[in-house]
Structure 1
Amino acid sequence: MNHRILYPFADFGDAVVVQPEGDTTRNTPDPGRDQDGDRSLITYFELARVMERASRRFSGLLRTELTKLGVDDIGSAQAMVLLVIGEAELSVGELLDRGHYVGSNISYYLKQLADGDYIDRIASQRDKRSARIRLSEKGRQLCTALREAAKSYERALSHGEQDRRNLETAFQTLHRLELVWGNAARYGI
């Protein structure tokens, strides 16, 4: 099967095989094989699409949890900003580095969070235009409630040591991709 027809923008040069050779753990037809017996390939483009969809699903999950908690003055994007801040005291630049926000969006999110008393902005003594951001007590309570809710999802996903190792491996791989892609965007390959 010609994968270029299905994925015209994908680069198959450094593709990864979906299943290892000789994997016989399935009793059902192998979805990794097409009609010609070729293995399906996962490209970086496809990986990025899955990551983006997973991020959207997580945003939906956060919206559901915010609704359960009776929080209707902020959305899932603002809740993610709170979770990124955590126990730290950050500048806006540091917050931009830790999240995946567009600069204009973070200003809007921070204004909403400040208006809702979820964060405290501490003006810099040297430059009044610059500020440090930290969670207020209301923000800390919301983050604690969201982390508690997340524990039930973690229990549903993690059924043993192997699942925890797989999660750690997935995190390390995604973090490495983030670094490589970020450096490639900034400095080229």
Structure 2
Amino acid sequence: MHSPIGQGARQDYVGRYLDALALVERLHRLLLDVIKDEFERVGVFEINAVQALLLFNIGDNEVTAGELKSRGYYQGSNVSYNLKKLVDLGYMHHQRSEIDRRSVRVRLTDKGHGIRDVVAGLFDRHAEGLRARSILPHEALEDINAALKRVERYWSDQIRYIY
């Protein structure tokens, strides 16, 4: 039989968990700032970092707003608004589904691929810098990804069990 975690150990765990949550949130905001800074450096001013990440994550795929939401992207942002803006600015093509006229499929234009390439280049440089300086060795990156996937699975299960 396992003994319950002592109150001090439990509070320590909760504190570390809250620190991790705050760090993930800060990293996401910092990622958006890094993308914004890169865009300013290369002279891209008409889209924001959230829209750039949207283009990066769509890549060579053709998707609907619903598919982006169901994949877990962009829960906190208005996906439909961002997709419409990206279409209006010429970064994406859109086409109504022949089967369901309410559904619109989108894909990147050449201009959208150009933005995706800027973001991909930024990420490549960062990955190489982290690796070359041994800031985040390969094994540590694997450990972080595995731990974050376990948290993602746990949170997803919590949402499913609520309903």
**Shorter-chain-normalised TM-score: which range?**
0.7 to 0.9
State the AA in 1 paired with 2:153.
Answer: L
Q: What SS does structure 2 have at the residue aligned with 1:120?
A: strand
Where do residues 1-189 of structure 1 align in structure 2 (5 Å cutoff)? 12=10, 15=13, 42-43=16-17, 45-98=18-71, 99-102=73-76, 105-159=78-132, 163-188=137-162
State the AA in 1 paired with 2:90.
Answer: D
Aligned-partner Cα distance in 1 for 2:10–2:63:
40
State the AA in 1 paired with 2:79.
Answer: I
Higher relative contact order (CA 8 A, sep 6+): 2
TM-score of the superposed pair, with normalisation by structure 2: 0.83
Structure 2 segments unaligned to the other structure (5+ residues): 1-6
Identity of aligned residues (%): 29
Q: What SS does structure 1 have at the residue aligned with 2:57?
A: helix
The structural deviation recorded for 1:167 is 1.2
Structure 1 segments unaligned to the other structure (5+ residues): 5-10, 17-40
Q: What SS does structure 1 have at the residue aligned with 2:10?
A: coil
**Does the 8 Å CA contact 1:84/1:95 hold for their aligned counterparts?**
no
The structural deviation recorded for 1:183 is 1.5
**Count of residues in correspondence between the two structures:** 153
1:95-126 per-position Cα deviation (integer Å, ceiling 9, x unaligned): 113313347x1111111111111111121001
**Does the 8 Å CA contact 2:64/2:104 hold for their aligned counterparts?**
yes
Q: What SS does structure 2 have at the residue aligned with 1:128?
A: coil
State the AA in 2 paired with 1:154.
Answer: A
Q: What SS does structure 2 have at the residue aligned with 1:90?
A: coil
1:163-183 per-position Cα deviation (integer Å, ceiling 9, x unaligned): 022112212211221121021
The structural deviation recorded for 1:77 is 0.7
What does residue 3 of structure 2 align with? none
TM-score of the superposed pair, with normalisation by structure 1: 0.73
The structural deviation recorded for 1:69 is 2.1
The structural deviation recorded for 1:68 is 1.6
RMSD: 2.4
State the AA in 2 paired with 1:125.
Answer: E
**Does the 8 Å CA contact 2:56/2:115 hold for their aligned counterparts?**
no
Aligned-partner Cα distance in 2 for 1:70–1:133:
25
Q: What SS does structure 2 have at the residue aligned with 1:82?
A: helix
